[in-house]
Structure 1
Amino acid sequence: MTLSYDLYWSFRSPYSYLVTPRLVALERDHDVMAVVRPVYPIAVRQPDFFANNDPLWVTYFLRDIGRSAEFVGLPFRWASPDPVRMDVATRTYPKEQPYIHRLTHLGVAAAERGRGLAFLDAVSRLIWSGAVTDWHLGDHLARAAERAGLDLAEMDAAIAADPEHHIAVVEANQDAQRAGGHYGVPLMVFEGEPFFGQDRFDQLKWRMEQRGLEKR
């Protein structure tokens, strides 16, 4: 029997990037399927979230993300540009967010076409690996979509034709995420049990093995 889990994931989250290759390998090698459920990042959902954090949160995060990338063997550089636009002068997040809304809605479209996990993997590598600057320009996104077996122009057209649908899916995902037990990403929910963070991958797989996870 094929096992499945819900994957709540954000294009602004480097930790989401770090876990995705392991999720791809898990699905490649075992009879399991990710139900990809893209969400907007906290900076968009709760624009004052980071302003209210202790300053140590940021300094630890910046140290930890580089260390975590090194530990799992993935290249990493902070995205250029950041998928979420910030007003540097006020350190606030404007309502208009051209990058993250497009990316998240493309994630929804990819999932609906049965290529969600492949799209997350290809695009997060584009944004976070440091191999590309200005990932939003030229044909970078189109080529990433192609590597995932998708047509970027077709998905963009579908989103433009029905933006309300894609927004509604993201909002439903966010409600389901909280019902699943956490508000952060990456969040994997398997049989009602939440596993938050890229460092919970081994526990997720361990639990799946207890439930009869089989190799392909």
Structure 2
Amino acid sequence: MAKLEIYWSFRSPYSYLATGRLCVIREHYEVDVAFRPVRPLAMREPDFFERGRKQFVPYLMQDFPREAERLGLPFGLPSPDPIDMDMASGKVAPAQPLMDRLMALGIAACEKDRGLDFAKAVSARVWTGKAWADDASLGEAASEAGLDLAALDGWATDNATRVTQIIEANEAAQLKHHWGVPLMVLDGEAFFGQDRIDSLEWRLGQRGLRRD
């Protein structure tokens, strides 16, 4: 069976835009999906936004709503931002408790083979401006994914070292192909960006893995 690896970030609006279509691929194609959450670029490269080009964030803020509208998806800015950073200077805070918890929950969900479902439920809150960081909202998201928040938190606490190891392994594997998200890798062939999902489906069709 073909293997599709998905590298995905809770802070990436483009990951949010891709998630529903990735769920469709998982459900309708004969592929073994491995969902691999990675930390946001702001954590993987803390100085990225400080040294990056000034056009990066303004363009993203223009493009993301446009793409969401084109795809017929709701959108809004996160409240709160999953990453603690000064948007004017690009300086990222050393401690990132919100994202640390999201990553731990995401890895715990992957252990239950529900990582993509949990990511879909959470990102639908983060990137539509809804409440998402409190236990009630995360509990609702977990429930939508067929999971229990307390159980996820418990597993993550009991397996903190494993969580770290999995995140490190995911990020090392991602970098073999690209640094960005969403990144889809079909049997070693990389497709970067939510605007390459059509290309991914084309390749699946080329290989005879057609939709049921």
Same fold by TM-score greater than 0.5: yes
Equivalent residue for 2:15? 16
Deviations 1:41-73 (A, max 9, x none): 110011110111221122211111111111111
In 2: Cα distance, 1:194 partner to 1:8 partner: 10
Q: For the aligned residues, what is the CA RMSD?
A: 1.4
How far did residue 116 of structure 1 move? 1.3
Deviations 1:150-180 (A, max 9, x none): 111011011111211101100100000011x
Which stretch shifts more, 5-14 or 26-35? 26-35
Equivalent residue for 1:166? 163
TM-score where L is the length of structure 1: 0.93
Equivalent residue for 2:102? 103
Which stretch shifts more, 21-30 or 142-151? 21-30
How far did residue 9 of structure 1 move? 0.3
Deviations 1:12-65 (A, max 9, x none): 001000000001112222222320000001100111101112211222111111
Deviations 1:104-135 (A, max 9, x none): 121111111111111111111011123x23x1
In 2: Cα distance, 1:64 partner to 1:52 partner: 21
Alignment of 1:33-112 (within 5 A): 33-87=32-86, 91-112=90-111
Secondary structure at the aligned position of 1:99 is classed as: helix
1:195 equivalenced with 2:191 (yes/no)? yes
Aligned AA (2:207):
R
Equivalent residue for 1:207? 203
Alignment of 1:142-181 (within 5 A): 142-179=139-176, 181=177
Aligned AA (2:149):
L
Equivalent residue pairs, number? 212
Which runs of 5 or more residues in structure 2 are unaligned? none
Q: 1:147 to 1:31 in 2, by over 3 A?
A: same
Secondary structure at the aligned position of 2:10 is classed as: coil
Alignment of 1:118-157 (within 5 A): 118-130=117-129, 132-133=130-131, 135-157=132-154
Indicate if the aligned counterparts of 2:183 and 2:192 stay in contact, CA closer than 8 A. yes
Deviations 1:83-112 (A, max 9, x none): 111146854111210111111121111111
Flag as ranges the 4+ runs of structure 1 deviating above 6 A: none
Aligned AA (1:111):
C
Secondary structure at the aligned position of 1:215 is classed as: coil
How far did residue 210 of structure 1 move? 1.2
Of all paired residues, the percent bearing the same amino acid is 47
In 2: Cα distance, 1:157 partner to 1:26 partner: 31
Which runs of 5 or more residues in structure 1 are unaligned? none
In 2: Cα distance, 1:191 partner to 1:25 partner: 18
